[in-house]
């Protein structure tokens, strides 16, 4: 079932165990200045998202965009699509703000916070694609409860997909995490395939991983 949940802000008591390490120190004066001067203009208030929804307007979401390279490349390739980037770390957000200024990008909005808090506040059936690229695998067994991908999370995402052909794309280079996701979708009967999409764009993290000889899996998950 898809419904708007309780409204959360960054100052509210967290509902979820963090799926990220708590570090958010900005590196360099220039990044601090970008955050202070530009973030407000590109910040998304989840309660205002309906302003951007229309039959002819595609919305795509990237959760945990890291340094922002994938988000920016997508935005440049698809100028008529609105991309919403969700990231907890301000250094990555500063990178995106810098690129927005450099390339005069008009189709990116940003949410600085836990993506699950964003998702609980936005309507159902609005995103054509949701990207979750290389989330932290939390490899130690005692930390598995902190993994972002869970059945609850997948169902939350699936409720936000616009149509039956809309997709959630999850990529990981961690073998155990990939097996965990595969078993999760198979056991729950969620429609999915394991393959790299035709329009795949390499991320900075993926290139570092490939240099270490690591392969990765892509899960395309449907509504």
Distance separating alpha carbons of residues 55 and 57, to the nearest angstrom: 6
Q: Which residues belong to the annotated binding site for S-adenosyl-L-methionine?
A: 62, 87, 114, 136
Give the DSSP H or E segment for 69. helix 69-77
Could you tell me the two tokens for 155? 């169902």
Distance separating alpha carbons of residues 49 and 158, to the nearest angstrom: 18
Q: List strand residue ranges (DSSP E) for 41-200, in order.
A: 59-63, 82-86, 108-111, 127-133, 167-172, 192-194
Active-site annotation holds for 136: yes
Annotated active-site residue in 12, 38, 136, 199:
136
Distance separating alpha carbons of residues 59 and 61, to the nearest angstrom: 7
DSSP state of 36: H
For β-strands 167-172 and 192-194, DSSP reports them as unpaired
DSSP state of 123: P
For β-strands 82-86 and 167-172, DSSP reports them as unpaired
Closest CA to 153 of 64, 45, 85: 64
Q: Known catalytic residues?
A: 136
């Amino acid at each position: 079932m898809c419904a708007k949940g309780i409204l959360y802000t960054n100052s509210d008591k967290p509902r979820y165990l963090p799926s990220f390490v708590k570090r958010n120190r900005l590196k360099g004066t220039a990044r601090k200045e970008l955050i202070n001067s530009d973030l407000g203009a590109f910040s998304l208030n989840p309660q205002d998202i309906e302003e951007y929804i229309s039959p002819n307007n595609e919305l795509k979401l990237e959760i945990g965009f890291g340094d922002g390279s994938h988000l920016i490349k997508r935005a440049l390739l698809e100028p008529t699509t609105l991309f919403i980037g969700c990231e907890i770390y301000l250094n990555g957000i500063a990178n995106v703000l810098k690129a927005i200024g450099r390339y005069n990008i008009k189709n990116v909005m940003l949410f600085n916070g836990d993506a699950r808090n964003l998702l609980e506040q936005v309507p159902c059936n609005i995103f054509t694609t949701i990207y979750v690229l290389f989330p932290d695998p939390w490899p130690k067994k005692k930390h598995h409860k902190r993994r972002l991908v869970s059945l609850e999370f997948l169902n939350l995402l699936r409720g936000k997909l616009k149509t039956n052909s809309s997709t959630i794309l999850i990529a990981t280079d961690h073998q155990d995490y990939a097996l965990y996701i595969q078993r999760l979708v198979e056991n729950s009967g969620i429609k999915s395939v394991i393959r790299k999409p035709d329009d795949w764009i390499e991320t900075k993290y993926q290139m570092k991983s490939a240099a270490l000889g690591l392969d990765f899996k892509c899960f395309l998950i449907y509504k």
